[in-house]
Structure 1
């Protein structure tokens, strides 16, 4: 690895060598630093330099496995220059004699160097002992080696050297004053000083110098990143390096080699997260970890399990160490780059946790939960460790888990809430009684995956008597409605309403449940809307339920044909801004986004939905994430962007499965059908229509969206009667629900198109004029499209005026039905390429109607050419046609060339007249 940020240290080694070479006396240099700080790399670089200068080099490496093997390091030094030199053979002989003449001091007396009676141990490292003849022989041999050229003795990891070899080194070090010998040692920082007697005497020598290696700076890390062989990876690695390595050369080397870090993994989508798996970075982490003492390793593992800043006394208690020793352990982990402050670096956590056996990890979590509870930690912190330990035995565990689950739901973490409550349920068992715990668990599971709440709903549906009338059961109403169990929802509300002495909170919750039911099943609880308005006027927005109720009331007003007003969106947007930062307010925000969509402001609704989807917390609530995708899809459809609508609706059905959508699946499926129809992808629309939709969905407003989309497809397929049937079904339901507003479904506009296709122009005019009645409170987009359609059904002069009004309402970016000159023949919608139309019956289970046969395209045009010709006649550019039909611009040009030849026209402006003449355009 390239030496970076080590020039000053290398210069100090060079200067020491120069003194030896100039016969100014021997030198001893001790290179110190944390594990993986580059000590070995520095020693290797220096060794290469002195070898090039013809110095003699003896090298050895200390090893933990050989620290009790006598003269293990000395043997390496002797062997490092080969067996051919007589002086080395003399050193070897002297060492063997020394082993017999000077037995080693036992470890118990090593530090003091004395026996229990106060006399010096013959094997202890002391300065006062007379030199035996064997030692004198060894020294004489070493000095002989240094006569022709300087001698460099290099020992890496001297903290792992055996005591006998250290004695030999000290014998030589004390006599280097006028010798051409340089001793270079490397030593890693540790909790306890290894061989303190050796170190103390070494540092007392006048020829001694210490060289400390600090972590690499960010600039140095950037220079190392520039050495990566893949230029595109360099900036990425430079960005990651400070946070991942902490300036550790060992970790930086691993980062350069890690394909995940560099983005060069063969299959990036299947690669583990950075630091996970068995990649270079994970291996480097374990190398650093196992070069430390057991207490330091235990500290790293405990920090990995804790996962958050922990006070030093708590950490010391968990480790059963003194606070001072614990602080030293953390400092050592900081030096080697594994820890930042008091936290294990996040990308390195997976490698440390992977090294923990499952049972040991559970034990650490359990111990952490106990200690943190004793120190009064937050319930969420304690609960995380209880979950990790799969343990909830003590009496304090269940309340802590319940409080943590409540907080988690309030902060948008239903996944964590579900884990907390799932643990309590495993402990208590299923008693059959519906409690506050069950309510929280149902809310949490529904937000993660509505299908997982099915078991809980079965228990709630089976409840009866007092259990059904508990306020806790009210929280199950939204999930029951989602899954089409409106009867159970109404039974719960009725039972709660009969309970005496309801608190204000319960009354507000009951009111919200009744209003939500009236919105999801408008054929029930119609009086709930007036009741909810009275409650909100009394000032309930100070509570979470009250704020949610305010949003539902605004949504109900937007869909009420008598109360709908133009200022609904203006009232909704400040509420969105007010509650946007609350991670637990996604249900409230979704209701407000629907208000904006239905109030004719799909643009801002789409922007707010995009903002919410970009928030990291949304990924913890997949159901709300899917709902936001569906809202954004509907907004995109209303803005004339079928491509975006299709993309977002598909995402809605991917985040959670269609089965998990329950009766609400009608919303994304309806959007997909409408988007495919508008884009001319009729086979796609047919496939989406083949997807099953629960019969209960058609008793909800979302079912009307689906019916409207199906009607548009049927109109495009030429099944005019079937389209009219669906639209009249919508008309009846909306009138019965008192939701006859274009904000929900502009059925009059769609039915007018059907009447035009059937040749009933006067019926279409009446429908459009009714749609334009100010009492209908239609949004600008609906009014603009109605005016534009009406302009083709009235005299030219009046039509031009209507088109001008439509243009003001729609604006230049509207991509709805294109305008055409007044009186010009209206082109029929592009027909599908023989789609297998599935005309679903008016109710689930009714017989399917046969697909009407499509007549052969007139004028000799193929079906593809007919579609291109119709769009070109309407004034679309070639690029717009290519976008709508999903073909290339070149293909459009080729089609137009053949169309001009077959129809015998010279220019684009003649297409409409010629197509009408050959019957390719209908009324």
Structure 2
């Protein structure tokens, strides 16, 4: 006998049994053999190998194979067998090869029996019938007739059929097995060892050992599928390499039917055309209902059930169960999941587009009726195109809302786009479009701008539902249409429709935020907004957080005490950290951070901004990330950290393009301009100022940022008249809007510097005094800057006192750049008073702070009394030897300009410990204040 090849791996025992049975024919004993096994398990290969071996022994071998296409042709199988007999013309007179119309089944069966018996007189006869379940009924009767009458003749009949019964096809096993000479052989799937042996012939022993377990998982041991994956893998083995789990049934597919040209799938691991063809072959061999069940399973994904598949395919549960069993035993699926994602793609690619769409829609409807999650139903609706059903539109909008909560903005936009197409009336269609615009804004506001004009037209024509006006107000505010925003707010205020509590709160939040952007709308805001609670209890609901945040920001813009607003902002930031991906989290965070910035709490704003940016990760909400980057930049700027401010401002402008910022472009641009001006990079700042900005920006709060930064640049470049114009315009707007708060912008100080540069010292003094009067006793950075300006127009000894107080305030507030300017001025005063040692210490300290702020070139030009940086430092005072290591560390950081809070954080000690150490340092060094600390401790 010939050795077995790779096609017969683990089939040798069955082949050996067939050989033994063939040998028994010499004892004039007939045999019948039924070979069963899963679809594509290698039954045909086994029968071919046995037929060749039987022919080699001298037996007369007659072969045939059943076919679904020929199963309705009477005596087709017998017609295949008889031409194989080497008989004379006379022997054919009883054969029904011509299949005369008048021939009966009994006559044909007797003729076949006589012909085979005559042939067996000279040599053993072997009849091999593959896929007998696909044979015609007449031929099957002939075979069974022969089996019952050839028990003592040297005749062996070998037939094969699937292990699982095929729906609608009679099984041969029930007729053959009761026969006493019948033997049943089962061909099972390949084991891991068998797959390794098979693969060794293809890829070598080393790679076969590595691939075998994976191949078993992906194919269930089906030889046809194993061969196909090995064929597709080529030299790299990627088709049978790593995939996501044992199969894929719940991921999104890329197949759109045969007409779409798409045959891709998520994580297909390189499966190609051979594997796809092998899968379709398995479906054909699993029976007529298997393909429909596989298609339904591929569309439904998980969780799929026999009942749901039956509803989709309109098959009985019993038929579905039989098909599922056949698909499972063939290795295509396991537990209602495709073992290999490429199998799912192959199944879907075999469905024509229109049939694919109809099945998708039926699956979506059934899942919707069963109460499936909107996201699961939407997965199917997105593949159906325009549906035109109200329920589909609602499902897609709900799925989009869930996607937004999960920060999957791209998917949300896709859902809303299809919802817009599926809407059955103009109002619903426009509502979906507005929601899509709102989602697009989170990703790139420029995309949402193109819809605004058309949507406003729809509003005026009455084609927009009242519930859709609120998001439209936000778009009008961002894109510079305050008049439209006010019109929409009036429509909401005068609306007559019923409003749920969450929608009412959202309208209030939007109104408060719109007024904070365009303060001219402040007159339209109710005096006591509903929901603004300042109790010590927890925040009461989901909408209470944005309502408090918007109210706090509005409060801090107005002159007066801001303690309550700051407390609200701190509490809100505690509730949103670490930052989730929900849109509300970002909105609350940005509003609270703006509150802290305008209340003069830049240090807190900086800390929170960095923490929130770090925790937000790679969120798809680029607009919100850009706004968070701006808050970090503004906080760094107000602390005097110019390089950090410039870097964060550039990040903000990179996250979304400048055209996408709308009127808010004034935020990152002004921050970048101010930082570059402070660092002495005047050309770069001028380049930013040359960028076009929306005219509507100057009607918004964001325009104040821009005017103040542009005035600072004009002042630094020797253009006091231009600076005075910008500062005065900034002040006029703030006074007109009723938000003349120094924490927002101390425009009077900017104007005072401009008048001072013009030589109008008295006018400058009046502006500073006016600013000081408005500050009261508030020890803010604005007060520190005002004292420095007031000192410039005062006698020398009064200047020293003012500058010392200014330095204390600015260093305590953490504004190092303003502190550097103040120390530089104080150094000059000490020099005028012939206190050269103190003047030198202050000059060195001012220079050190200026360099730490990134304003080295500019600061050095303002500090003529400072020595070059490579000068020999002044010796540490002898009294410094009495300092303990802890006191020395605290004193050194304090000399560098760190606040008590920052020193405590860096050294991991309490604020009271810092104060105690500094008190002892002052006493031991015989100094009275912070700015007298030596810089070289």
Q: Does 1:546 align with 2:544?
A: yes
Q: Distance in 1 between matches of 2:197 and 2:482?
A: 62
1:196 to 171, 180, 188: 171
Tell me if the contact between 2:108 and 2:142 (Cα under 8 Å) persists in the aligned partners: no
Shift in alpha-carbon separation, 1:625–1:70, aligned structure 2, 3 A: farther
Q: Distance in 2 between matches of 1:676 and 1:51?
A: 94
Uncovered stretches (5+) of structure 1, i.e. residues with no partner: 80-87, 107-113, 145-150, 619-623, 828-923
SS at match of 1:132: helix
1:213 to 188, 194, 216: 188
Q: Does 1:515 align with 2:526?
A: no
Q: Does 1:309 align with 2:303?
A: yes
Q: How does 1:255-294 map to 2 (within 5 A)?
A: 257=232, 262=238, 273-274=265-266, 279-280=272-273, 282-294=276-288
Q: How does 1:518-917 map to 2 (within 5 A)?
A: 518-522=515-519, 524-525=521-522, 531=528, 535-537=532-534, 541-553=539-551, 563=562, 571-577=571-577, 580=580, 582=582, 587-588=587-588, 591=591, 600=604, 602=606, 605-606=609-610, 608-609=612-613, 611-614=615-618, 618=620, 624-629=621-626, 631-632=628-629, 635=632, 649=652, 652-653=655-656, 659-665=659-665, 692-700=692-700, 702=702, 728=727, 732=731, 738=739, 783-787=815-819, 794=827, 795-799=839-843, 823-824=866-867
The alpha-carbon deviation at position 486 of structure 1 amounts to: 1.5
Q: How does 1:289-300 map to 2 (within 5 A)?
A: 289-300=283-294
Shift in alpha-carbon separation, 1:546–1:75, aligned structure 2, 3 A: same
Tell me if the contact between 2:39 and 2:286 (Cα under 8 Å) persists in the aligned partners: no
Q: Distance in 2 between matches of 1:229 and 1:747?
A: 84
Q: Distance in 1 between matches of 2:653 and 2:204?
A: 40
Tell me if the contact between 2:388 and 2:422 (Cα under 8 Å) persists in the aligned partners: no
SS at match of 1:90: coil
- Provide Cα deviations, 1:646-682, integer angstroms capped at 9, x if missing partner: 99557633xxx65554334555677888999999999
2:475 to 475, 479, 486: 479
- Provide Cα deviations, 1:396-431, integer angstroms capped at 9, x if missing partner: 667767766766666666336524641464x22369
Shift in alpha-carbon separation, 1:504–1:785, aligned structure 2, 3 A: same
Shift in alpha-carbon separation, 1:678–1:377, aligned structure 2, 3 A: same
Shift in alpha-carbon separation, 1:96–1:778, aligned structure 2, 3 A: farther
Tell me if the contact between 1:20 and 1:179 (Cα under 8 Å) persists in the aligned partners: no
- Provide Cα deviations, 1:438-493, integer angstroms capped at 9, x if missing partner: 76565456557654564465443674699999565334221111211112212333
The alpha-carbon deviation at position 591 of structure 1 amounts to: 4.7
Aligned to 1:901: none
2:115 to 131, 134, 139: 134
Under a length normalisation based on structure 2, what TM-score does the superposition of the two structures give?
0.61
Q: How many residues align?
A: 766
Q: Distance in 2 between matches of 1:3 and 1:743?
A: 85
Aligned to 1:361: 356
SS at match of 1:328: helix
The alpha-carbon deviation at position 19 of structure 1 amounts to: 3.3
Tell me if the contact between 1:662 and 1:694 (Cα under 8 Å) persists in the aligned partners: yes
Q: Distance in 2 between matches of 1:767 and 1:222?
A: 87
Shift in alpha-carbon separation, 1:140–1:484, aligned structure 2, 3 A: farther
SS at match of 1:361: helix
Aligned to 1:325: 319
Q: Distance in 2 between matches of 1:651 and 1:715?
A: 28
Tell me if the contact between 2:36 and 2:161 (Cα under 8 Å) persists in the aligned partners: yes
The alpha-carbon deviation at position 62 of structure 1 amounts to: 4.8
Q: How does 1:230-269 map to 2 (within 5 A)?
A: 257=232, 262=238
Aligned to 1:19: 20
- Provide Cα deviations, 1:350-396, integer angstroms capped at 9, x if missing partner: 54444433432343344445555655656666666666556766776
Q: Distance in 1 between matches of 2:583 and 2:151?
A: 71
Tell me if the contact between 2:196 and 2:209 (Cα under 8 Å) persists in the aligned partners: no
Q: Distance in 2 between matches of 1:95 and 1:681?
A: 109
Tell me if the contact between 2:167 and 2:288 (Cα under 8 Å) persists in the aligned partners: no
Q: Distance in 2 between matches of 1:792 and 1:233?
A: 77
The alpha-carbon deviation at position 306 of structure 1 amounts to: 3.6
Tell me if the contact between 2:293 and 2:323 (Cα under 8 Å) persists in the aligned partners: yes
Q: Which moved more, 1:386-395 or 1:10-19?
A: 386-395
1:32 to 28, 37, 44: 37
The alpha-carbon deviation at position 515 of structure 1 amounts to: 1.8
The alpha-carbon deviation at position 134 of structure 1 amounts to: 0.8
- Provide Cα deviations, 1:502-552, integer angstroms capped at 9, x if missing partner: 876565334312221133234542895974597243789544432322333
Q: How does 1:219-230 map to 2 (within 5 A)?
A: none
Q: Which moved more, 1:213-222 or 1:512-521?
A: 213-222
Tell me if the contact between 2:708 and 2:745 (Cα under 8 Å) persists in the aligned partners: no
Structure with higher Rg: it is: 2
The alpha-carbon deviation at position 696 of structure 1 amounts to: 2.3
Q: Distance in 1 between matches of 2:550 and 2:298?
A: 44
The alpha-carbon deviation at position 16 of structure 1 amounts to: 1.9
Under a length normalisation based on structure 1, what TM-score does the superposition of the two structures give?
0.61
Q: How does 1:134-213 map to 2 (within 5 A)?
A: 134-140=115-121, 143=124, 157-160=131-134, 183=158, 185=160, 187=162, 189=164, 191-192=166-167, 194-197=169-172, 200-201=175-176, 204=179, 206=181, 208-213=183-188
Shift in alpha-carbon separation, 1:138–1:97, aligned structure 2, 3 A: farther
Tell me if the contact between 1:674 and 1:713 (Cα under 8 Å) persists in the aligned partners: yes
Shift in alpha-carbon separation, 1:823–1:452, aligned structure 2, 3 A: closer
